[in-house]
DNA sequence: CGGTTGACCAAGT
DNA sequence: GACTTGGCCAACC
């Protein structure tokens, strides 16, 4: 299936451990401007353990949410486990943010 | 088909 | 620095 959501998951899976990406970059990599729709698809999260949704953050370098807007603490913990660095404000360091590879079809 | 919502974004105040 | 506004696009009702 090559629906919008499927592209989101595919791109998300390409993120290497220890790095993160943003909703915007993720949206760009799948050639869409719907950053919000990206987050929406992840919120549905059809494959909770197959897709590293915790590696997707906001463009402000804030972690954003994870499984609803309140559970950001767990997301932060997971990212720390993967080796992602934060500063005191809970912002991801810019150097850890990468751009996912474009999925060409 | 129209209106609301959302793990957002950029610009303005 | 914070909060507000308008905009974006897909999913849902």
Using one digit for the tens of pLDDT, what is the confidence trace for A66-104?
988 888 888 999 999 999 999 888 899 999 999 998 776
- The reported pLDDT for the residue numbered A24 is 94
**Contacting residues 57-86/A vs strand C (CB within 7 A):** none
Span A1-26, pLDDT tens digits: 788 999 999 999 999 999 999 999 99
- The reported pLDDT for the residue numbered A47 is 81
Active site residue A96: no
- The reported pLDDT for the residue numbered A70 is 83
What's the whole-model pTM score?
Answer: 0.91
* Whole-number Å distance between alpha carbons of A78 and A5: 23
The answer to whether the CB of A53 falls within 8 A of the CB of A21 is: no
- The reported pLDDT for the residue numbered A105 is 53
- The secondary structure element, H or E, covering residue A8 is helix A4-13
CA of A39 to C1' of C5 (A): 21
Given the residues A53, A56, A57, A63, select the one marked as catalytic: A53
CA of A35 to C1' of C7 (A): 12
Span A43-57, pLDDT tens digits: 887 687 889 999 999
């Amino acid at each position: 299936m090559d629906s919008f959501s499927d592209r989101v998951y595919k791109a998300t899976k390409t993120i290497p451990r220890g790095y993160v990406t943003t909703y915007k970059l993720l949206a760009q990599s799948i050639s869409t401007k719907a950053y919000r729709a990206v987050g929406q698809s992840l919120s549905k999260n059809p494959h909770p353990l197959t897709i590293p949704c915790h590696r997707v953050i906001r463009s402000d370098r804030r972690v954003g949410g994870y499984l609803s807007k309140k559970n950001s603490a767990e997301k932060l913990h997971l990212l720390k486990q993967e080796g992602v660095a934060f500063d005191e404000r809970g912002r991801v360091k810019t150097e850890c943010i990468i751009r996912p590879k474009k999925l060409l079809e």
